[in-house]
Every structure is written in structure tokens, then in C-alpha cells.
Amino acid sequence: MTQRGTAAEPDGGPAATAVDWAFFTFSGIGAAWFAVLLLEESLQQRHIWFLVVFWAALAYLVLPRLDRVLTQIFIPNYFMGRTRTNAGLFGDAVNLAFLGSEAQLRGALEKAGWHLADPVTLASSWRIVSSTLLHRSYDHAPVSPLLLFDRQQDFAYEQEMHGNPRQRHHARFWRCPEGWMLPGGIAADWLGAASFDRAVGLSLFTLQVTHRVGENIDAERDYLIDSIRDSSPEVSVEVIKNFSTGYHSRNGGGDSIVTDGDLPVADLGNLPETGPAVPAGAAAARRERPPAPVIFGTVLVLLRGFAALAVAAPFLVHVTDVSLVINLLGTQSRGLAELGSAYAPTSVSLTVFAGVETVLAVLILRGSNFARVTAMSLSSIAIAVQIAAVSAGPDAALRTNLFGYAFDVLLILALSSDGARIYARSRPRRRRPPDPAPSAGAAGPPR
């Protein structure tokens, strides 16, 4: 029973897959080269602050993309009783299973004193950071996304410790695909992964700031089940012994985890439907919403178009003073500004380019795969040109092209991500309406 086979992503064919992988790999290589340039610059004393930028590029651009490429190649994508991180690494172990509806599961958790985690947004991310630093309570703090069945958790619940989200019990939950069964033919409606956040630190594999997980995940599994049974005695639990071989391993952040491999299956069928009401079509609406990488990539495409228009606009209105453009975009725009001043067609071309970028941004946001590939192609060409110009030396390249190079790398990283790819290739396409049925007595088509 494959994990990927349950996803709703359409098959774009071998050619589409090859194109996606080419951009995915190219952006990883580009990000790695960017990190090398930053490291070389940071070794110069006058640019020692570049070490912070180098760490950010390494932790949030290079290592996650490298991990994603390697895990895609070497780790088979069938159900192993483990979740995955966005970088493709093994995440928390699946150590819970439930029979029942979403309302029954959420009702049982809330009755047991668990709190629904907020979705990850800019506001919730800032609040958990400030709450952690200032030791303030945040009962509904967000949890990082983990993947099972090729999708993020449907929801997560938590209980914070000592009035601070730095330490908390938490569990993520995924609805099982229709007709899917656990190995051995055992039915389950929901799977869960429970663990305990013991502190905040750096991930061993990506160097990102993250929660560090406690080693004894069996204690968290048993704690959650006991809390539900204490508040809802009618819940019955059967334990699948040795569901997964007891192992000593690590999660996606590099934390050691230990388990006996048992999997409790809690039957919630006798509970009332008391969980929070789920609006009709809410899940479909979430799927239709552009994911964060698509929104980020769209903003970058718009900014690229705006930059082109900002350079061209003064000359379109016969402004010949290049100082305005230089003050607006920096000294690195002097050459382009002087070119636009000397040749009117260049300014017109830049204006057309800005219009094309605006159209691409709108189409990307609406889920156009063609627009996504086109935008990544333009950035790839720009990166190739900058790499070819590096003959002047890394220092010159950094002084003149660092911002533009980083901009194009970020754009390809965003639009080549799994979230952007799946969103673009799963959007419904307009289809030709069926031919009208022949009228009564009319001759049917030849067979």
C-alpha cells in the first residue's frame, strides 16, 4: 500500500516530471553556490555579519533542498509508520490510530483538555516566538507541518507545560484515505503521531530553529490515550503489538526517539458527535487556496516586473537624469539606466516585460503550470547569465549581483517546491462540454 498512491495529484507525464525535477535540482545547486559566495564574503572581516546570512541560506535554502533530493532518490515512498518533513526526512513516528468521525475525535480530545493548534501563519509564528521568549502562555500555538499520505496533518492538538509553548505535549492527526488499511488489513479512520516538545534548539539535519522532541515517545502515546479514556470511559482500545519493530532512531530534527513499536487503536464509535462543527466544503476550500510557496513566488514575480518598470518608466516620460533610477535601485542599476536612456526600444521592452511578469503572476496564483514553468525559466536564464559573468571574481559578483542572484534563486526554490508543483498540476482544467444528445428519431453516429 503506497503512501503516494493515495494522493490526488494528477500525473503530468514523464516530460512534466523531468522538467519539475530539473528546476528542483537546479535551484538546489544555485542555492548551494549562493551559500558558498556568502561564506567567502563572510571570511573577510569587513563582512563578518555575512555569517548570519550564510547560516540562514544554508539552513533554510540549501540543506532542506539537498535533503529533499536525496530522500526522493533513496527512500521509497510507501507507508513505513513514519511521517515526513517538508525536506523529505523521517519525522515523528505514527503511534496512534482511531476509529470514528472527525467530530468524535476532536470532541474526545477537547473533552480531555487538549487544545486545537492554530494554523501556521505569519501572525501565529510571531506569537509563538514572542510567547516562548517572554514566557507567556499560548494554548493554541501552531505546530510545524509533517506529511503523511503526501499531505500535511489535518489538524493538531496540544497541552503546553508551565504556561509556555517552549514545552508541550502535542499530536498531529491525518484522515486515512478511503478504503485504506493498516498493514495486516486492520481498519483505521485516523492516524496520529504524538510526541513531547522538551526545548527549543537547532535541527541536527538542517540547522533550522525548531522544537527538540523528547526521546520517550511511548510515554506521549500512552498519555494521550489515557487522557481520552479518563474523560470518556466508553472508548475502547486494542493494541497492535509490535506494529513496527521497536527501534532507536531519530526524527527529522535529529532527536533520538525510542519506542516498543506497539500501536493502540482507539474506537470512538460510541462517543457523541460533539467536536467543533466542520463547515461543508472547508477541506476543499483549503485545497483550493494557494499554498505559501505559490504566494511567495507570485510576489517575487511581481517585484521583478516592478523593478523592470521602475527602470523603464523615467525614460518613457523623457526623463534623462539617470540619478533618479540610481537612487531608486542602487548603483548596480547604472548600466541598465544608461542603456534605457540611450535606446528607447530598451525601455519599451522593459515595459512589455513588466506586463508579461504581471500576467505570469496572476496566472501562477490561479494555478497555471505553464506560467510557473515560464517564470522559473526566466530566473534560470538570469542565473546562468550571472554565473557566466563570475569571471570577474566572486567579490565583483557579490558587489553587483548578490541581490539579483538571491532573488532568482528564491523564486525558483518557491515555485519548484512540492506545494507549488502539486497546486499547479492539480488545479481543475476547463473541459470541452459534452456534445448534446441526439434528438428523438435522429440517426446515431456510425459505430
* Residue scoring higher pLDDT (285 or 234): 234
Helix, strand, or coil (residue 206): coil
Query: Residue 229 in 3-state DSSP?
Result: helix
The residue-averaged pLDDT of 63-91 equals 83
Alpha helix locations (H) across 246-320? 282-288, 292-316
| Each residue's pLDDT tens digit, 32-76 | 877 777 777 666 656 666 677 777 777 777 788 888 878 878 888
Q: Give the lowest-confidence range in 4-18, 364-378, 403-417.
A: 4-18
Task: Work out the burial of residue 342: count CB atoms within 10 Å of its CB; fewer than 13 is exposed, 13-18 middle, 19 or more buried.
Answer: exposed
The reported pLDDT for the residue numbered 414 is: 86
pLDDT of residue 402: 67
Of all helices (H) and strands (E), which one includes residue 346? helix 344-365
Question: Residue 444: beta bridge partners?
Answer: none
Tell me the pLDDT band of 340, cut-offs 50, 70 and 90: very low
pTM, to two decimals? 0.70
Higher pLDDT, 96 or 332: 96
Average pLDDT (237-254) is 79
Return the pLDDT at 88: 83
Cα 174 to Cα 112, 119, 190, 296, 303, distances in angstroms: 19, 15, 6, 26, 37
CA 210 to chain centre: 15
Pairing of strands 263-267, 96-99: parallel
